[in-house]
Amino acid sequence: QVSVPIWSKANQSDLVWYPAKKQADGTYVVHMNIKNHKYHTGNYTTHVYAWKNNGTEMAINLGQTNIQGIKDQLSAAIKNVNQQNGTYDIVVNSSSQFGVREVKVPIWSTPNQSDLVWYKAQKQADGSYVVHMNIKNHKNRRGTYMTHVYMYNNRGQQTAIALNNTNLPAIPDTLKAQIKNVNKEAGSYDVVIQAASQQGFARVEVPTWSTANQSDLVWYKATKQSDGSYIVHVNIKNHKNNRGNYTSHVYLWHPDGSNTAISLGETDLTKPIQEQPKPTEQPGKSDNNQQGNTNTGTTAEPTKPTEQPGKTEEPQVRELDVEKIKSEVFRLTNLERAKRGLKSRIYDKKFDVVTDLLARELLISYSHTRPNGTTFDTAIREKYPDFIIDEHSYIQEILAGTQDQINFGEYKNETQIADDLVKSWMGSPSHKAAILSDDSDVKWVSVGISRKENDKNKGYYGYTYYGVQIFVNDRDESIASGGEYVHPELAE
């Protein structure tokens, strides 16, 4: 009998007695493996014991053998990216002399990792590991996803790598609608809607009103039809029986509270004028035979007015200087910060092309979600593809709108418009927080302004001005080469 005791620890806690196997040539062989020794590395001591048939023992010391071990290996690749469905696969190859216990893959898209999911990789027949990522597991968020891979060996040691970011952009919602079955006499019409969203939607609503101040506004909840469309029945009975032009918008609401919206314009529900019945006989004609006389009477046509009734002359509206409004918004924003001892922001005109675009898009959809269904920060990427937006970034958008008409013929100037916008932001907790953020890393500010002509038929002349302001912090300052502007009153 031949046995070979092998160990690496001074207290022999990993000692294993290997029984030697006799070979055809009469020698004996033992195969040592560190997995039998708790995967310890270092110096291993090997002895050999042999016993004769009479029980006599023989032993020799083979000394020590150093086993440093092999570094764990870990590689991975992202495959099968499906931007339409919001999915991709992670294929992992890993090895460890201590054995691979498990592979985990954390994936997230938000800076605060609020949608973080740790996926446990499944081992395949070829020895690789696979994870199937789906945005349904991440609150259906669209955007840039970060993917890391962690391998744990049987000794509890971990090896980790970071993979390239994966972009799963928002797929624009489908939202179409038509006004149908207009009945002026009854004061009603239907709104028929076709809606679809990759991320799903909670409901479809149709806000409708006729008065300039929206005092008769009603939010109708659309009902789904058997053909998949949605419908709303508008009736003036729900709007204080007001007559006139009705405005309807359509909102598709996502589960996360964001929305896509469209405007259907105006629908005339003015009550039709009833035509007067025509006489069956000519007025004034009668038979008079009492004295043998016949009279034919005629009725004269009403006298037409010789002059057109006096018309109210439209007031003249001055076109405001948009750049002055931007400058004043920026000055007032920093003034609010200065009141609280906060450092002034820097204006970067490079981003004006972004904020001006976002402001114009407010004329289509008054929302933080762009008309194409994407988030506002995609406008930055479209203009500056190399701009880095990741978990280190801070990007916030605030928006507001105000009319320039004070009274008939009296209108606000640039300073008053800017003051209205800033006051509106300061009255909103989330917008106020963005303006008064004490994050010292926020470097850039930009303002965008757009305007829309008011409805003269409702007695509102002039324009409604819309403002967008963005605050940007990015860890890559290489693109911050646009012209920076500091208002003279705020220059240090």
d(CA 37, CA 14): 5
Work out the pLDDT band at 366, boundaries 50, 70, 90: confident
d(CA 244, CA 255): 35
Tell me what percent of the residues of the chain surpass a pLDDT of 90: 42
Q: Tell me which residue has tokens 């006729």.
A: 210
> Residue 173 CA to chain centroid, in angstroms?
12
- CA triplet 432, 438, 441: central angle to 5 degrees? 120
d(CA 185, CA 125): 73
Residue 480 predicted with pLDDT over 70: no
Q: Which tens digit of pLDDT belongs to each residue from 241-264?
A: 999 999 999 999 988 777 888 999
Do the strands 259-268 and 346-348 form a parallel or antiparallel pair, or are they unpaired?
Answer: unpaired
Domain 73-168 = CATH 2.60.40.3760 = yes
d(CA 89, CA 86): 11
Work out the pLDDT band at 385, boundaries 50, 70, 90: confident
Identity of the amino acid at 106: P
Domain 322-473 = CATH 3.10.20.740 = no
Q: What is the mean pLDDT of residues 146-164?
A: 95
Work out the pLDDT band at 398, boundaries 50, 70, 90: low
Q: What would the DSSP string read from start to end of 397-463? A: EEEEEEE-EEETTEE--HHHHHHHHHHHHHTSHHHHHHHT---TT--EEEEEEEEEE--GGGT--SE
| pLDDT at res. 103 | 98
Name the residue among 369, 394, 384, 373 with its Cα closest to residue 444: 394
Residue 299 predicted with pLDDT over 60: no
Identity of the amino acid at 291: Q
Q: Which CATH class is domain 174-267?
A: mainly beta
Residue 459 predicted with pLDDT over 80: no
Work out the pLDDT band at 290, boundaries 50, 70, 90: very low
The answer to whether 471 touches 395, Cβ cutoff 8 Å, is yes
Per-chain mean pLDDT for the chain: 82
Residue 472 predicted with pLDDT over 70: yes
The answer to whether 35 touches 99, Cβ cutoff 8 Å, is yes
Residue 282 predicted with pLDDT over 80: no
Work out the pLDDT band at 477, boundaries 50, 70, 90: very low
How does 293-313 read in b/e, with b if 16+ C-beta sit within 10 Å? Answer: eeeeeeeeeeeeeeeeeeeee
Assign residue 415 a region (left: φ > 0; alpha: ψ between -120 and 50; beta: otherwise): alpha
Beta bridge partners of 451: 465
Worst-scoring range by mean pLDDT, 23-37, 204-218, 284-298, 401-415?
A: 284-298
* Token code pair at residue 164: 């390239």
Residue 58 predicted with pLDDT over 60: yes
Tell me what percent of the residues of the chain surpass a pLDDT of 70: 79
Worst-scoring range by mean pLDDT, 73-82, 100-109, 135-144, 427-436?
A: 427-436
CB atoms within 10 A of CB 468: 27
Residue 482 predicted with pLDDT over 60: no
Identity of the amino acid at 252: L
> Which spans in 213-348 are helix H?
322-339
| pLDDT at res. 400 | 65
CB atoms within 10 A of CB 145: 23
| pLDDT at res. 158 | 94
Q: What would the DSSP string read from start to end of 284-313? A: TB----TTS---B---PPPPPPSSPPP-PP
Residue 368 predicted with pLDDT over 90: no
The answer to whether 330 touches 355, Cβ cutoff 8 Å, is no
| pLDDT at res. 200 | 81
Helix (H, G, I), strand (E, B) or coil at 343: coil
| pLDDT at res. 298 | 41
Worst-scoring range by mean pLDDT, 96-110, 420-434, 460-474?
A: 460-474
